[in-house]
Homo-oligomer: A and B are copies of this chain.
Amino acid sequence: MAHGEPLPWDGFQREVDETLRSVAAGEVASGGVDAAWREALLSPGKRVRPILMLLVAGMFSVPRRRVLPLAVIVEMVHAASLVLDDLPCMDDADTRRGRPSLHKTHGEAVATLASFELLSRAHARLPAACAVARLPRRRWAALGDELAHVVEQLCRGQALDLAGTAEAVDELERVHAQKTGSLFVLSARWGALAGRPSSVELDAVEDYARNLGLAFQVMDDVLDCVGDAGRLGKPVGQDASRATFVDLLGLDGARRLADELTATAVHCLAPFGRRGAELETLAREVVSRVR
């Protein structure tokens, strides 16, 4: 999907945004870390990871309200990682989601601290979120480990991406499997866990999410190349110093790769039959908006 354009699950997005606002509720002085992490969390996003989790949960007939707290945790970690990505020492991006990036409005120090605090708050919300999702108590610690493992992958993927040493498509895929794919997989996994999946079903949604996340990243590169800044919400061409899928494959080649990844994602949904229809739509949305 084009960044900035809503997914066709407006209601879901509204529910996620409402929950995020409740997380950020409370009076805060302007200018400090308290205001900054709230600004990072509430900046307008498509909430694709929470929506993915809600859709997967729905496929297992789990009511959305039971996974919303877990979905919020994923979005908090995502928001925290975006703040770091934009820092001058990383992508040095002046805008994000159509607004000045957090270090532009709050300074680098406060933005960095806000990201740190968001991550900590995300972790602390896990036990309560597991309870709402009715996950057995013996699994709660494992979910904390899974979250920390994804943070490790986000950090490793970001460092590799910045190093820009990937010279072949499979190397770049490995970078983005960590940087983007890992949080997609976690979102799908947690949505499924709330529905007591079989191991075949769990593997299937994780494979789906892995391919979806990669397709999402490839289209991000395509958009970064062809999009205009207003639509994208961030500076066009800012990834110029990094290897992108467009660099390695050209525009058409990158689009073809996104198509292939989408087809693979959809294929992973086979075990679910008609129950996978909404996830199929989600996968097709990822690549349809920039034709």
Residues in chain A within 8 A of chain B (CB atoms): 32-34, 80, 84, 87, 89-90, 107-110, 112-117, 119-121, 123-124, 126-128, 137, 140-141, 144-145, 147-148, 151-152, 155-156, 158-160, 162
Contact = CB atoms under 8 A, between A and B. Distances in A.
A123 B113 CA distance: 17
Contact of A120 (B34, B110, B147): B147
A153 to B, nearest CB: 10
B120 A148 contact: yes
B108 A89 contact: yes
Main secondary structure of the interface of A (DSSP, over half): helix
A156 B32 contact: yes
Contacts of A89: 107-109, 112
Contacts of A155: 33, 113-114, 116-117
Contact of A123 (B32, B33, B148): B148
Given A119-B119, A151-B120, A113 B159 contact: yes
Contacts of A151: 116-117, 120-121
Contact of A112 (B107, B112, B128): B112
8 contacts: A89-B109, A112-B112, A120-B123, A121-B148, A121-B152, A124-B147, A126-B144, A127-B140
